[in-house]
Amino acid sequence: MESLRKSRDFRKVIESGDRTVLETITIFILPNQEGRTRVGISVSRKSGGSVKRNKIKRRIREATRRNAERMPRSADMVIMARRGASEATYEDIEKDIRKYFDHVERR
């Protein structure tokens, strides 16, 4: 699992990818031809100060890492925190990520 780094890559996934809205996060996914999965995490400034935003990002990153084996192969993903993510526990975020991967596996 690699990171999406360039804003044009984020924009491409958000504009062209499939969107799934969950309780604490929104996931955009776009298949790629690179044979690897790249993940980008985005947390709005509306979520709070830098300490709070980084805490949310760490929780999303860890939940994604723990469930990486279930992640779709050859895809770019952008995971955006929703407004409720700042009050959500790690377990709430991980539950949403598992729910999404279960949904993708059933397709």
* Residue 66, token pair as written in the block: 């723990």
pLDDT at residue 37 tops 90: yes
Q: Over the stretch 10-31, which tens digit does the pLDDT of each residue have?
A: 999 999 999 999 999 999 999 9
Q: Over the stretch 46-100, which tens digit does the pLDDT of each residue have?
A: 999 999 999 999 999 999 999 999 888 899 999 999 988 999 999 999 999 999 9
Q: Are 54 and 85 in contact (CB under 8 A)?
A: no
pTM above 0.85, yes or no: yes
Task: Give exposure, 68-81, as e/b (b: 16+ Cβ within 10 Å).
Answer: eeebeeebbbbbbb
Q: Give 34's pLDDT tier (boundaries 50, 70, 90).
A: confident
